[in-house]
Structure 1
């Protein structure tokens, strides 16, 4: 399962002109996107297949990537979504009893242009200091000035409306495991497969619906609750999902949103969103759950966040709302809870695979919200 296919010279060029030379990893060619870094030391296959990374060039801060190869079970979607991939030391041989191939070959097969052998620590420090920015990787043009000119012609992530590019083309259903208890309509803004798996384990049948779905189409599956999924892009562009979330809350149907879905609910409640300097991406972010007082180690993948006051109940069109979770690294809002309608969100990933699993209880909280509505109906 070797990933050591013949490699060409390659160059990575940031929009501010900083460049790194290395070797190709995956497909040869040229690619562009937003340069972001993720600190996870495991779960690279889940990262690559997460639709939230659409149009982003992912830098792995962990130096050794590809050690366990790839398999047919851990994908979060039907394809690799990253625009490009940056690693320091790709494994020469991937070895794991579940592996069915090598990471380098998988990247090449799906046409993902990457670069290896560069100082990813220096690149990460640069992005931390200067912020996420546009980037290009090329094996066909090794002139930094020439590549930089094309990088600067690329669209920025700020203002990017991307959910329509990653959503399902038609509805599909993931059945509950064991006895069916509840039905959820999930708005697919870039959903990961593990969301429906976590719900199925709790007896929930999930209908995954296109991002363009109307309230009538959601209600047609007779949902006990609605879910707004993670996804890529700038939430400030997502006017249709925001309007849909408001309609759901007007009906007082239980609602749960994760990541991009959390930003959608934030906008629906009247809050602004903003772009973080370099975002949160990794599986070791400390978050305080203000409901329990517990600190969770959580998985993140977001470059935008909700702007809301941390220490007060905020009056909105739907009653009082409070910040339920906060990141302990930088006080970024990581969750919202409505007090008068059955709606809550988190900005991070309780469905995270390969982990962490500290926040898996939030799916129980979602089911309890549905049970509470049923009991009081």
Structure 2
């Protein structure tokens, strides 16, 4: 049984496991899917990544918050995680760019968290049992354990969750190219991160970010009116099996032969548009140290990733599609997960990882150059 204490907080998993610590950030209660990320840096980018919508993020790195929080490194306009769990938060940040503390920002944005828990034991549990629903409770939200477990079990699972509409922009906006404009790209906002248009802009690409709620035919018409040289499918949260509208739009783009590049959620959307299925991974890939093999060059890149779903298939597999042959171009040697797909007869490719990664690594940044080369070659 849990005793009500103002200075106590608990993380409760759906299988009944409880981790007790102290409140971190806002007090109260929150629900989401408990997942862990292995990044030792970049916690601000993680927290503001829309792909973490409705997830309680557990940091495997023991010390978090050392560099504080600033207004420049956000990947979106707000923190998207449902909750936050850390081992040893910094008492005082130490960085010349810091403008406030991490806990202060969590409090100001109402993000409920827990600190001081045994994150090593929690991560091992999630690796063995898989990502699962969880709740973080503190302050007046604390009650007896069975009641909290029941409340966690009443919360919605990630499988079957359609979350794109919750994170997409409601109004179109443009990120101009740096220097001379070489290309114009349209990007339906499935949960795009701020660094992606910046990476495109650095290559002379102007990016038009469009509301994802637009009907597929209308979205295609808007892109044609824009005269876009290419289409970018970004990252995003939720179950790709629910993204039927994005899949239909992608098929319309492939039929038109418009150059297309996708990452993360966009990789799953392209795979579905080519006729392949997706599945929920046991605990996913989340971190900045995940190796990926390029089937064509046989090179390995260390990548940043954040996904709990993947395409069905295996590295190097070729398969027929309504648009000609395609292949799974990249894979993760850790678990043989598909990490990329490429169409061989239409100009489209995608990867499961994040070449725009901030704070890094940057091994895969050259994929944006490949996208530019694809657009330079015409449709």
With the length of structure 1 as denominator, give the TM-score of the two structures: 0.96
Larger mean Cα displacement after TM superposition, 197-206 or 305-314 = 305-314
Which residue in the other structure is 1:99 paired with?
A: 98
Which residue in the other structure is 1:16 paired with?
A: 15
Does residue 209 of the first structure (1) align with residue 210 of the second (2)?
A: yes
Q: What does 1:123-202 align with in structure 2 at a 5 Å threshold? A: 123-139=122-138, 140-202=141-203
Which residue in the other structure is 1:225 paired with?
A: 230
**Unpaired stretches in structure 1, ≥5 consecutive residues:** 1-6
Which residue in the other structure is 1:58 paired with?
A: 57
**Partner of 2:93: helix, strand, or coil?**
coil
1-structure distance, mates of 2:81, 2:105 = 13
**Partner of 1:25: helix, strand, or coil?**
strand
Q: What does 1:1-377 align with in structure 2 at a 5 Å threshold? A: 8-139=7-138, 140-213=141-214, 214-373=219-378
Alpha-carbon distance, 1:178 to partner = 0.6
1-structure distance, mates of 2:225, 2:282 = 41
Alpha-carbon distance, 1:372 to partner = 1.2
2-structure distance, mates of 1:344, 1:328 = 20
1-structure distance, mates of 2:227, 2:49 = 28
Q: What is the RMSD computed on CA atoms of the aligned residues?
A: 0.9
Task: Answer whether contact 1:207 1:221 (CA < 8 A) is retained.
Answer: no
**Unpaired stretches in structure 2, ≥5 consecutive residues:** 1-5
Which residue in the other structure is 2:3 paired with?
A: none
2-structure distance, mates of 1:290, 1:27 = 46
Task: Answer whether contact 2:325 2:344 (CA < 8 A) is retained.
Answer: yes
1-structure distance, mates of 2:73, 2:39 = 16
Q: Deviations over 1:183-240 (max 9, x none)?
A: 0000110000000000000000000011123211222221000001100000000000
Task: Answer whether contact 1:8 1:28 (CA < 8 A) is retained.
Answer: no
Query: Number of residues paired by the alignment?
Result: 368
**Partner of 1:8: helix, strand, or coil?**
coil
Task: Answer whether contact 1:283 1:298 (CA < 8 A) is retained.
Answer: yes
Q: Deviations over 1:341-364 (max 9, x none)?
A: 000000000000000000000000
With the length of structure 2 as denominator, give the TM-score of the two structures: 0.96
Alpha-carbon distance, 1:162 to partner = 0.3
